[in-house]
Amino acid sequence: MTDVKEITEAVQEQVLSALKVGQTAIIEGVRTFTDTVGSITPESLKLDSVPGLDSLPDPKELMNVSFGFAQELLNTQKEFAQNLLAAASANGAAPVQPVSKKS
Looking at the predicted structure, is the pLDDT value of residue 5 above 70? Answer: yes
Reported as a single tens digit per residue, the pLDDT across 46-72 is 777 778 888 899 999 999 999 999 999
Looking at the predicted structure, is the pLDDT value of residue 74 above 90? Answer: yes
Looking at the predicted structure, is the pLDDT value of residue 78 above 70? Answer: yes
Contacts with 38 (C-beta within 8 Å, 6 or more apart), sequence order: 46
Distance of CA 79 to the CA centre of its chain: 19
Q: What is the pLDDT of residue 98?
A: 61
- Domain spans in the chain, listed from the N-terminal domain onward: 1-48, 56-87
Task: Give 101's pLDDT tier (boundaries 50, 70, 90).
Answer: low
Q: What is the pLDDT of residue 96?
A: 59
Q: Residue type at 49? A: S
Quote the DSSP letter at residue 46.
S
